[in-house]
Amino acid sequence: MTMLVALPILLPLLAAGLSLVLGRFATLQRLLGVVVFTANAVLAVVLLAEADKSGPVVLQLGGWDAPVGITLVADRLSALLMLISMVVMLAVLVYSIGQRITDYGRSTSSTAFHPMYLVLGAGVSMAYLTGDLFNLFVAFEIMLGASYVLITRRTTATRVRAGMTYTIVSLTSSLLFITMIALVYAATGTVNLADLSGKVEALPVGVQSAMALMMIVVFGIKSAMVPLHFWLPDSYPTAPAPVTAVFAGLLTKVGVYALIRTQTLVFDHGESWTLLLWFSVITMIIGALGAIAQNDLNRLLSFLLVSHIGYMLFGLALYDVTGLAGAILYVVHHITVQATLFLVSGLLTRHTGTVALRGMGGLAKLYPAIALLFAIPALNLAGIPPFSGFVAKLALLEAGAEVGTTMAYVATGAAVLTSFLTLYAMAKVWVFAFWGKSKPPHPDPDPTDELIIGTGSTSRTMVSATSALVVFGVLIAVFAGPLSEISTRAATDLLDGGPYRTAVLGEEAE
């Protein structure tokens, strides 16, 4: 069973190399990607079942035991998030094949989409499974290397400008990350997460606080926490819809995962953290207000992405089982819903040729199926019952009420207000895009472009992939009970830390 922990990383990396060799064979490349992400989803199910039954599944690589060697760990949290992430990556890949973005450049050379997409999947899996800070850094670099290629494909002046912003911010956060790792190692002599949890306790309180704040800054940039969010609304909307969908659905959540993992396993805050509660409040409110002000559909969704990161920070900042369970459930919900909304945006763009809300209109009559595909995740994101967004938000509101501090009540009120602002933003999209008089499409003026938009046609594959994600989001609500139970057990493990440390370090942790 322990050997299975390495496969979600190895399979995409090996497949990426094979995909390069098969560059001239489009069908084989497509099939390879679909098979690998399906296999990774199955592996995640197996690892989740084993972790939930018997505790964390640990693999010590190279015969070197922790904390010296490289450790991979699949516990309830990492396996659950990996499962959701692999399902989303599979659906987005199928959508990409239908949109033909995967074939861009094939007429002149081997397309780079499939290899880079597989490398991105390997980085996501590694980030969830790694048991030390340095290899978490490596995982982020793998993801960023692949994302640099994906975000700048089909190069235009706007995309290059946005890609430069994304690249510079990412390199800056990577520099801060490696500096943080060096300082942590200098203070503790280890970077293994399980080992750090014991070593950090012996440090002066001021040093512990400084380390915790450094990690908040590093992972706050990667998760787009306000005021470190400025790069996201300028970078994500310029990429093709499926690329934006997978970035919005996964990359920021990997940053949130890193925050949850480090702030619970390495540090013992003991009670709700007021500073992080303040960050959650300003993230929720500023992101939602930014969304309302947008006319560009993708920028509106990007600001809502920022806003809802605040809900996850809210659950983490409460630092109790109920709050953490709500945060985990919210991450599961948001990965799916946010990716779905960007895929729907891609469908709308294919029909209208524009992302400007005022350039759309009457789409509910013309394309009722797409209207339905938008309405369900939009209501889900706003937290309307009985969808998963309502279940996750209700868990967070209950946690805020249980904590009962003044700041917890403020954050709870901000969460409620943000739900109404989100609903307003979604209603704005519905009114401008789906109601009113239909407007003529704005076709891509470049006749040589392989990805012509505004043609009024959408492939069945794109619609089917989007529909599958919509259904998957609904299933999360249907199975909210079991998911809540798993999230609660994962939250209990996070706050306890004992099972994780014992599984990684053995008797040394006892």
Over the stretch 103-120, which tens digit does the pLDDT of each residue have?
454 443 446 888 999 999
In angstroms, the CA 411 to CA 212 distance is 21
Task: Please give the average per-residue pLDDT across 333-352, as a whole number.
Answer: 90
Band of residue 450 on the pLDDT scale cut at 50, 70, 90: very low
* 112, 105 Cβ separation under 8 angstroms: yes
Task: Please give the average per-residue pLDDT across 299-311, as a whole number.
Answer: 94
In angstroms, the CA 434 to CA 362 distance is 5
In angstroms, the CA 5 to CA 72 distance is 7
Q: Per-residue b/e over 88-115, b at no fewer than 16 CB within 10 Å? A: bbbbbbbbbbbbbbbbbebeeebbbbbb
pLDDT at 267: 84
Q: What is the DSSP annotation of 19-81?
A: HHHTTT-HHHHHHHHHHHHHHHHHHHHHHHHHHHHH--EEEEGGGPPTTTS-EEEE-HHHHHH
pLDDT at 372 over 50: yes
Amino acid at 221: I
pLDDT at 84: 95
Instruction: Please give the share of the chain, as a percent, with pLDDT higher than 70.
Output: 91
pLDDT at 105: 45
* 118, 16 Cβ separation under 8 angstroms: yes
Q: How many CB atoms lie within 10 A of CB 289?
A: 14
Of 429 and 27, the structure prediction assigns the larger pLDDT to 429
pLDDT at 272: 75
pTM passes above 0.85: yes
pLDDT at 454 over 60: no
Q: Which residues contact 68 (CB under 8 A, 6 or more apart)?
A: none
Tens-digit pLDDT profile for residues 122-145? 999 999 999 899 999 999 999 988
Least confident among 155-169, 263-277, 287-301, 487-501: 155-169
Amino acid at 431: V
Tens-digit pLDDT profile for residues 174-200? 999 999 999 999 998 899 998 888 888
Instruction: Please give the share of the chain, as a percent, with pLDDT higher than 90.
Output: 51
In angstroms, the CA 219 to CA 214 distance is 9
- CA 466 to each of CA 347, 359, 434: distance values in angstroms, whole numbers, following the listed order: 9, 23, 18
* 400, 409 Cβ separation under 8 angstroms: yes
Average pLDDT over all residues of the chain = 87
SS3 436: coil
Q: How many domains does the chain have?
A: 1
In angstroms, the CA 466 to CA 111 distance is 24
Alpha helix positions (H), 189-251: 193-199, 205-222, 232-235, 241-246
Task: Please give the average per-residue pLDDT across 20-38, as a whole number.
Answer: 88
* HSE, side-chain direction, 13 A CA sphere, residue 456: 6
Cα of 220 vs its chain's centroid, Å: 13
* 490, 75 Cβ separation under 8 angstroms: yes
pLDDT at 29: 87
Q: Which domain holds residue 397?
A: 2-509
Q: Per-residue b/e over 238-260, b at no fewer than 16 CB within 10 Å? A: bbbbbbbbbbbbbbbbbbbbbbb
Tokens of 371: 């209207």
Alpha helix positions (H), 383-479: 388-403, 406-429, 460-478
pLDDT at 441: 63
pLDDT at 349: 84
Task: Please give the average per-residue pLDDT across 425-437, as a whole number.
Answer: 88
Task: Please give the average per-residue pLDDT across 215-224, as a whole number.
Answer: 91
pLDDT at 178: 93
Q: Which residues contact 485 (CB under 8 A, 6 or more apart)?
A: none
pLDDT at 226 over 60: yes
Strand partners, 74: 57
Beta pairing class for 57-60 and 71-74:
antiparallel
Q: Exposed, middle or buried by CB within 10 Å (0-12, 13-18, 19+), for 382? A: buried
pLDDT at 488 over 60: yes
